[in-house]
Structure 1
Amino acid sequence: MTQKKVEVIPATKRSVHNGGQLKVQSNIRVAAYCRVSTGDESQQTSYTTQKAFYTNLITNKPGWRFAGIYADEAKSGTSREHREDFNRMMADALDGKLDYIVTKSISRFARNTVDTLNCVRQLRQQNPPVGVYFEKENIDTLDATGELILTILSALAQDESRSISDNIRWSIQKNFQAGKPKIDLNRMLGYDKGENGEWVINPEQAKTVRYIFERYVCGQTANRIAKELNELGRKTVNKKNWSASSVLTVLRNEKYVGDIEMQKTITKDFLTHRSTINKGEAPRYYVENHHVGIIDRSTWDKAQTMLYEKPSKVGDSVPAQKKKRGYTGSPFGNLVCGAVLEHGERAGKECGEGFFRVTYTGVATGYTDDRSLAATGGDMDIYLEKYAYAYPVWRCKQKMGKREGEKPDRMAHRIRSCTAGKNTGDCRMPREKQPMKDALRKASMNVPWNRVLWKCCTA
């Protein structure tokens, strides 16, 4: 039997199932991605070399069309946040402008395992898929068998970045322990960096610093000081107007008295590189008299005492505690009316409302002070005195309202009759040793306060 001839029709579209196709495809649009993590001179040479190499490689390769060079200089590969060219390259690839991306190695593409795998998979899901070729590792992402190796090597690249971050942190802490701070004096008001790295006072900026401290210890607020500085035309170190928070930042900065505190902030995650305030997670290092201070020690101590005793609402890391309202009410304020209601839906039940205090005043006439007259030798039978007096009555709050036409700030509660009935005894708070109200009306001034009759509104 004659064997039939089978003619192979080659694939015309890129597909992940067909394996790596960078070297077999023709007329494809290829771009290159380059990155260096710092702006050092040695890395600058590497940055320039990468761009020149891949430009020549793509333009001279048969079947390849040059689609551009995407390069990020002095950008960390642990995050995509600040890598503008990388994000622009991804956007162009997703828009169908690229067929392949060539880069030197996985660590140049990204040092974050999640970012690497997400970007690669996102590009592979395009129609047609977009491939990434890592030259050093010889990995083509359109080859399905290469994902395992890519995952392992990407994790190693991320761990290498963690190791570098740990080494840098260790060296910085050693410098802190030796009293060597890491600070950019170009971002600090009042100081310049000398020829040998020493701290040199900037006379013009130092006037502003002294003005802030002198005005504050004289009792001026941070808001007022900021307003005065803006009126004088003085600017912050960033050439911006002053605010209360920027004034408080200067007042709290120990460097202006000659001291320095190191490791105020720490970086918890090497992938995000975000600094947070050191709240005890790492040691701090404090050096007194590290450099020449702009203000004297006594002014500094006084300013710190005032900041501690009188915290401002603006810029404080610890807000002042709210003032608590003192209890100034009557000790009987928690009592409620116990009268049994006679009308309405709640008839037969206790009233249960609180009490409202009303103060009555009156004048007692025909009162004789026997002790005063005996002491002065006066005649107790003919000498009479007149006294003014006041007594409180607590009424039920059953139907309080406001009087019509009365201003809100002078509003008085309108007391209506309680539904307990007309019997004054039905809505009266029982108390022991109750003197009758007429005792007050007869000017019986010897009645103690705790024996005054307290009645509901029906009294």
Structure 2
Amino acid sequence: MRCAVYVRVSTEMETQKTSIAHQKNYFKKYIEDRKWQLYKIYQDIESGRSIKNRVGLQELIEDSKKNRFDMILTKSISRFARNTLEGLILIRDLKSRNIRFVTIEDGFDSEEYDEFMFTLLLSIAQKESEKMSERIKFGKLCRAKKGYYNGSHAPYGYKKIDKYNIVPADDITNFVVKKIFSMYIEGNGLYKIAKELNDKGYPTPSQAARKKNSTSIWHQSTIRKILSNRFYIGDMVQNKENKPIIVKNTHAPIIDTVIFEEVQKRLEEKRRKVFKTKHLFSGILICGECGSSMHYKKDKESYICGKLNKMGKKYCKGAYVKEALLKKIILSQLKKVVNENICKERFLNEIQNEIKIKEEDGNIRNIKKRLNELERKKDRILDMLIDEIIDKKIYLKKIKKIEGETRINIEYMENIVKKFTNSKEYVGSIVNEIFILDDIDILYLNKLVKKIKIFKNKEVLIEYTFQV
């Protein structure tokens, strides 16, 4: 019996690395005791419920397709998958290739238990994962309100002395933070500051934190982030993605408050100036050679690689293009994809004023709302089964009824969408509306184009907002 082993922990903390070692040792002995053959141990150190982001698991799946083992062993369902649908699809795929799946803690064996049992275990694992996530979020929220830092690594220029206290670092990073603020106050731009730090070889934030795949290059965005961070005046700002929690004077400052406020004033003035002078391709035009944003040069009516423009050929020998030529290239490609009706569905969704589908669109919204209700209903029924309020027979009967209604609603919605996405008349009218003057309107450009890469040889690659 050829065995593959899958082990996983959610973070890179030392205790969890120890857990990985324990799991490996356990499975080696487990396989040896049964006189089976260990093919390979696959591992992931990563947080999250989605299967697609786990490199080790993806490698295991690919090897299973090549018939390299007969069995998969893992500690528990929750180590393998915490998303019910993804886990169920994966197990079905393994069973179709006669690969046995066994978990130790749950006592699950795909040769002995049916799919219902596995679905039940997956659902429990998913719910426990969601509850754990909520507990972690709540804990971080409480810590943030008390002024405790939640990050794994202290901000650049600081160091953690324990889980509650952060102090200014006694190394070069402290000096670099002060240098960044000093240079900006003296009138140096973000690129000039970055170039100075790169030339001096000062460690970047990712290098100081010793992160995997850390970069040794200072970027404009990194400088701006440091200049905008209130942490450097002694204030703790957390929970930024929701309602920010600000607690003042939680730690020793590195930067004087007066200097910090002056920097914020200048950054805002710069932001407004850039916004007012925004050109047609600003924000979406990227140098294909190095990945930097391209800058518009008014005197030459051209776009040039920002890194090349500010830091010189040492950092990029990149792209340069006249705006008139670029408009001609982009317009030609946009006309081509639109006239071939590649983007019909996207147009119908994005430009609803030109398409009279208000009633049908309302129906689609109602159907989606009902589908969400049916999903919640399935969860409630599963809870009732777990709590033994209903038995398996009643559970399956109710689920079958819900799935039947779900299928009907999906088919109805697909018919509505199909009716309009197949209409060349609507698409044709939009094409004529957009390109009637044979020019590019910035409003429609932003609707159609996400990113444009231009290379040194004038090759242009367009990343659309729709599927091509």
TM-score (norm 1): 0.52
Equivalent residue, structure 1, for 2:122:
154
Of residues 178, 187, 193, the one that matches 1:210 is 178
Gap change, CA 1:183 and 1:136, over 3 Å in 2: closer
CA distance in 2, matches of 1:33, 1:323: 51
What CA deviation, in whole Å up to 9, does each residue of 1:26-58 have, x standing for no partner?
xx3233333344566765665444433332333
CA distance in 1, matches of 2:13, 2:217: 34
Partner-residue secondary structure (3-state), 1:34: strand
- What's the RMSD between the two structures over aligned residues? 3.0
Of residues 189, 201, 205, the one that matches 2:156 is 189
Amino acid at match of 1:134: T
CA distance in 2, matches of 1:57, 1:323: 64
Equivalent residue, structure 2, for 1:58:
31
- Give the deviation of 1:262 after TM superposition: 1.0
Equivalent residue, structure 2, for 1:114:
85
- The answer (yes or no) to whether the contact 2:7–2:43 under 8 Å persists in 1 is yes
What CA deviation, in whole Å up to 9, does each residue of 1:147-175 have, x standing for no partner?
01111211111111001111111111011
Equivalent residue, structure 2, for 1:392:
none
CA distance in 2, matches of 1:39, 1:241: 24
Equivalent residue, structure 2, for 1:125:
96
- Give the deviation of 1:185 after TM superposition: 4.4
Determine whether 1:92 maps to 2:59: no
Equivalent residue, structure 2, for 1:30:
3
CA distance in 1, matches of 2:48, 2:174: 40
- The answer (yes or no) to whether the contact 2:168–2:254 under 8 Å persists in 1 is no
CA distance in 2, matches of 1:74, 1:103: 15
Equivalent residue, structure 2, for 1:284:
244
Equivalent residue, structure 2, for 1:299:
259
- The answer (yes or no) to whether the contact 2:42–2:60 under 8 Å persists in 1 is no
- Give the deviation of 1:220 after TM superposition: 2.2
- The answer (yes or no) to whether the contact 1:32–1:54 under 8 Å persists in 2 is yes
> Which ranges of structure 2 fall in alignment gaps of 5 or more residues?
208-215, 280-468
More helix by share: 2
Gap change, CA 1:49 and 1:255, over 3 Å in 2: closer
What CA deviation, in whole Å up to 9, does each residue of 1:96-140 have, x standing for no partner?
1111223333223222212211211111222xx212123444443
Equivalent residue, structure 1, for 2:39:
68
Gap change, CA 1:181 and 1:93, over 3 Å in 2: same
Gap change, CA 1:223 and 1:103, over 3 Å in 2: closer
Amino acid at match of 1:121: R
CA distance in 2, matches of 1:178, 1:93: 49
Partner-residue secondary structure (3-state), 2:205: coil
Gap change, CA 1:175 and 1:100, over 3 Å in 2: same
- The answer (yes or no) to whether the contact 1:34–1:47 under 8 Å persists in 2 is yes
Gap change, CA 1:29 and 1:190, over 3 Å in 2: closer
CA distance in 2, matches of 1:201, 1:122: 52
Partner-residue secondary structure (3-state), 2:165: coil
Partner-residue secondary structure (3-state), 2:114: helix
CA distance in 1, matches of 2:171, 2:69: 57
CA distance in 2, matches of 1:194, 1:43: 21
Partner-residue secondary structure (3-state), 1:150: helix
- The answer (yes or no) to whether the contact 2:50–2:83 under 8 Å persists in 1 is yes
Of residues 219, 224, 229, the one that matches 1:253 is 229
Partner-residue secondary structure (3-state), 1:311: helix
Partner-residue secondary structure (3-state), 1:310: helix
Gap change, CA 1:301 and 1:34, over 3 Å in 2: closer
CA distance in 2, matches of 1:57, 1:191: 46
Gap change, CA 1:183 and 1:107, over 3 Å in 2: closer
Counting matched residue pairs gives 270
- The answer (yes or no) to whether the contact 1:31–1:102 under 8 Å persists in 2 is yes
Alignment of 1:30-49 (within 5 A): 30-38=3-11, 47-49=20-22
CA distance in 1, matches of 2:202, 2:17: 39
Equivalent residue, structure 2, for 1:230:
198
- Give the deviation of 1:217 after TM superposition: 2.2
- Give the deviation of 1:252 after TM superposition: 0.8
Equivalent residue, structure 1, for 2:402:
none
Amino acid at match of 1:189: Y
CA distance in 1, matches of 2:238, 2:147: 9
TM-score (norm 2): 0.51
- The answer (yes or no) to whether the contact 2:235–2:247 under 8 Å persists in 1 is yes
What CA deviation, in whole Å up to 9, does each residue of 1:174-196 have, x standing for no partner?
1111111213445x322223478
CA distance in 1, matches of 2:191, 2:278: 22
- The answer (yes or no) to whether the contact 1:201–1:294 under 8 Å persists in 2 is no
CA distance in 2, matches of 1:38, 1:93: 26
What CA deviation, in whole Å up to 9, does each residue of 1:78-110 have, x standing for no partner?
223453433332222211111122333322322
Gap change, CA 1:233 and 1:46, over 3 Å in 2: closer
- The answer (yes or no) to whether the contact 2:28–2:38 under 8 Å persists in 1 is no
Amino acid at match of 1:33: Y
Of residues 42, 51, 59, the one that matches 1:80 is 51
Gap change, CA 1:301 and 1:116, over 3 Å in 2: same
CA distance in 2, matches of 1:57, 1:167: 34
Gap change, CA 1:257 and 1:44, over 3 Å in 2: closer
- The answer (yes or no) to whether the contact 1:70–1:86 under 8 Å persists in 2 is no
- Give the deviation of 1:69 after TM superposition: 4.6
Gap change, CA 1:246 and 1:106, over 3 Å in 2: closer
- The answer (yes or no) to whether the contact 1:34–1:71 under 8 Å persists in 2 is yes
What CA deviation, in whole Å up to 9, does each residue of 1:200-257 have, x standing for no partner?
2436333322222222223222122222333344342335232322221221111122
Identical-pair percentage: 30
CA distance in 2, matches of 1:165, 1:132: 27
Amino acid at match of 2:276: Q
